[in-house]
Structure 1
Amino acid sequence: MRRSITTLTLLLITIPIGLAVRFLPLGLPWFLYKYLGSTLWAEALYWFLATLLPTLRPMAVATIALTIATLLELSRLVPIASIDAFRLTSAGKILLGRYFSFKNIVAYVLAITLTATLDHLVAHRQTKS
């Protein structure tokens, strides 16, 4: 239960930061604007899955998150009218993205790896206390 509360809290912190990066005029350099959003999206996906599946080890959660993120990225290569229409909405842009980018997959791998490492460290600390 304690892990679920921790991961939910981290998810609820990550989401507004990601939305701020995407929608507020923060004056970020282009590289950060482009890839920080992708990394925060992947981090939020990880925390979401870790909240839903609290008994799984971080490596298992990371594997599921990376699989989902990669499949969603690859889905952009397959035109499906209803999904493509959803991608044009604000929610669709945030949740599914619009354009395929191999660089996004790299960003997802880095973000999920770092997040799983953080999760492992936090979970390890919680079991000791």
Structure 2
Amino acid sequence: MSQRMRRLGIALAIIACGVALRLGGYEIGLPYFLVKYGGSTLWGGMVFFLFATLLPRQPLGRLAILSVVAATLIEFTRLYHTPWLDEFRLTLAGALLLGRIFSWWNIVAYAVGIVIAGLLENRHLARVSRLPG
């Protein structure tokens, strides 16, 4: 499997986990903090792996910086309101992609997710580079 496809698969798996957490987290008794910020942490990891898919030759540090900047900019779009944008935010897709209200804590959670994703990708790449052949 190519590196690009593996990274895209990880991003898609993270999306599935985030949707499952948001839609079923409370129903299975998970605490608010875990559902709210776990989803944001997963979202940050997804942003990292999407950038890694699109820019496979970039160093991990650069991917992390791009991811934090993009996630932060998207969070700041929550401060901008128009009727059509607010209507979109009320849909499931809008809530998952853009969110509804601005929070500095979301930016922290995104950064945590991006750091975790970057560290896991670094660990994977180090293991692969040690394999024979």
The TM-score normalised by the length of structure 1 is 0.92
Match of 1:39 in 2: 41
Give the structure 1 partner of residue 14 of structure 2: 14
Secondary structure of 2:79's match? coil
**Equivalent-residue separation in structure 2 for 1:105 and 1:51 (angstroms):** 22
Report the count of equivalent residues.
Answer: 129
CA contact (8 A) 1:3 1:123 kept: no
1-structure distance, mates of 2:44, 2:62: 15
Q: 2:64 aligns to what?
A: 62
Cα distance between partner residues in 1 of 2:23 and 2:16: 10
Q: TM-score, normalised by structure 2?
A: 0.89
Partner residue of 2:76 out of 74, 77, 82? 74
CA distance in structure 2 between the aligned counterparts of 1:81 and 1:65, rounded to whole angstroms = 28
- Give the percent of matched residue pairs that are identical in Structure 1 and Structure 2: 40
Question: Which residue is 2:123 aligned to?
Answer: 121
Q: Which portions of structure 1, spanning 4 or more consecutive aligned residues, are displaced by more than 6 angstroms?
A: none
Alignment check: 8 A CA contact 2:44 2:112 kept = no
Distance in 2 (alpha carbons) for counterparts of 1:3 and 1:26: 35
Structure 1 runs not aligned, ≥5 long: none
